[in-house]
Amino acid sequence: MKFLSSTILFNSLLVGFTLISSSCGKPKDDSQAIQGLTKVTLQTDWYAQPEHGGFYQALVKGYYQEAGLDVEIIPGGPNAMTVQKVAQGVADFSLGRSDQIIVAISRGVPLMIQGAIMQQDPQAIMFHKESGIKDFKDLDGKTIMAIPGSTFVRMLETTYDIQIDVIPMDFGMNRFLADKAFIQQCFITNEPFYVAREGANVGTLLLSDSGFSPYRVWYTSRGYARANPEIVAAFSKASIRGWKDYLAGDRSEADALISASNPKQTADFIDYVVNSMIENQLVIGDPGNGDTIGRLSQVRIQEQINQLNEIGALESEVDIEQVLPATIPETSASSTKPTSQGLLVKLISHEGTQEMIIGMEAMAKIAVNAKRKFFETQDIEYEMTIVYLKDFLDTFIEDKTLDFWIANCGDKYQSNYYPEILESTQPFFILTVEQNHWLNSSKTKDTKRNGVLI
pLDDT grade for 375, boundaries at 50, 70 and 90: low
> Which carries the bigger pLDDT value, residue 353 or residue 219?
219
CB neighbour list of residue 388: distance below 8 Å, 6 or more residues apart: 366, 368, 422, 426, 427, 428
Task: List pLDDT tens digits, range 287-296.
Answer: 777 788 999 9
One fold for 31-120+215-330 and 123-210: yes
What pLDDT is stored for residue 289 in this prediction? 77
Cβ pair 388, 431 in contact under 8 A? no
Q: What are phi and psi of 439, to 5 degrees?
A: -70, -25
**Does 121 have pLDDT greater than 90?**
no
C-alpha closest to that of 324 among 312, 334, 332, 336: 332
- Cα separation, 370 vs 161, in Å, equals 58
Give the best-scoring range by mean pLDDT among 74-78, 146-150, 328-332, 379-383.
Answer: 74-78
What pLDDT is stored for residue 439 in this prediction? 42
Cβ pair 433, 369 in contact under 8 A? no
Query: Mean per-residue pLDDT for 251-257?
Result: 97
- Quote the strand ranges of 159-227, DSSP E: 165-168, 184-187, 202-206, 216-221
What pLDDT is stored for residue 391 in this prediction? 82
Three-class secondary structure of residue 188 per DSSP: coil
Amino acid at 228: N
Largest CA distance in the chain: 85
Q: What are phi and psi of 380, to 5 degrees?
A: -75, 135
- Cα separation, 370 vs 389, in Å, equals 14
Give the best-scoring range by mean pLDDT among 167-176, 250-259, 278-287.
Answer: 250-259
- Cα separation, 220 vs 227, in Å, equals 11
**Does 18 have pLDDT greater than 90?**
no
pLDDT grade for 150, boundaries at 50, 70 and 90: confident
pLDDT grade for 402, boundaries at 50, 70 and 90: low
**Does 103 have pLDDT greater than 60?**
yes
Q: Does domain 123-210 have CATH number 3.40.190.10?
A: yes
Class level of CATH domain 31-120+215-330: alpha beta
Amino acid at 82: T
Query: Mean per-residue pLDDT for 33-47?
Result: 84
What pLDDT is stored for residue 376 in this prediction? 53
CA distances from 268 to 52, 248, 265 (A): 17, 18, 8
What pLDDT is stored for residue 57 in this prediction? 98
Instruction: Name the percent of the chain lying above pLDDT 70.
Output: 73
CB neighbour list of residue 189: distance below 8 Å, 6 or more residues apart: 50, 51, 122, 272, 273, 276, 277, 280, 282
For the ranges 88-102, 184-198, 377-391, the lowest mean pLDDT is seen at 377-391
> Which carries the bigger pLDDT value, residue 394 or residue 62?
62
- Cα separation, 130 vs 409, in Å, equals 60
Instruction: For residue 347, give the H/E element and its range.
Output: strand 342-349
Three-class secondary structure of residue 160 per DSSP: helix
- Cα separation, 438 vs 381, in Å, equals 13
pLDDT grade for 379, boundaries at 50, 70 and 90: low
Instruction: Name the percent of the chain lying above pLDDT 90.
Output: 53
Query: Mean per-residue pLDDT for 353-359?
Result: 60
What pLDDT is stored for residue 395 in this prediction? 79
Query: Mean per-residue pLDDT for 87-110?
Result: 96
Cβ pair 22, 348 in contact under 8 A? no
Pairing label, strands 143-146, 216-221? unpaired
CB neighbour list of residue 379: distance below 8 Å, 6 or more residues apart: 373
Task: List pLDDT tens digits, range 268-318.
Answer: 999 999 999 998 899 998 877 778 899 999 889 999 999 999 999 999 999
Three-class secondary structure of residue 414 per DSSP: strand
Q: CB count, 10 Å around CB of 234? A: 23
CB neighbour list of residue 129: distance below 8 Å, 6 or more residues apart: 201, 202, 203
What pLDDT is stored for residue 317 in this prediction? 94
Query: Mean per-residue pLDDT for 183-211?
Result: 91
Tell me the domain boundaries of the chain.
Answer: 31-120+215-330, 123-210
C-alpha closest to that of 407 among 423, 386, 428: 428
For the ranges 30-34, 45-49, 85-89, 274-278, the lowest mean pLDDT is seen at 30-34
Q: CB burial class (10 A; 0-12, 13-18, 19+) of residue 16?
A: buried
Instruction: Report DSSP state, residue 109.
Output: -
Q: What are phi and psi of 2, to 5 degrees?
A: -110, 140
Give the best-scoring range by mean pLDDT among 205-214, 265-274, 372-381.
Answer: 265-274
pLDDT grade for 254, boundaries at 50, 70 and 90: very high
> Which carries the bigger pLDDT value, residue 131 or residue 449?
131
pTM for the model: 0.64
> Which carries the bigger pLDDT value, residue 351 or residue 442?
351
Give the best-scoring range by mean pLDDT among 229-238, 291-300, 335-344.
Answer: 229-238
pLDDT grade for 216, boundaries at 50, 70 and 90: very high
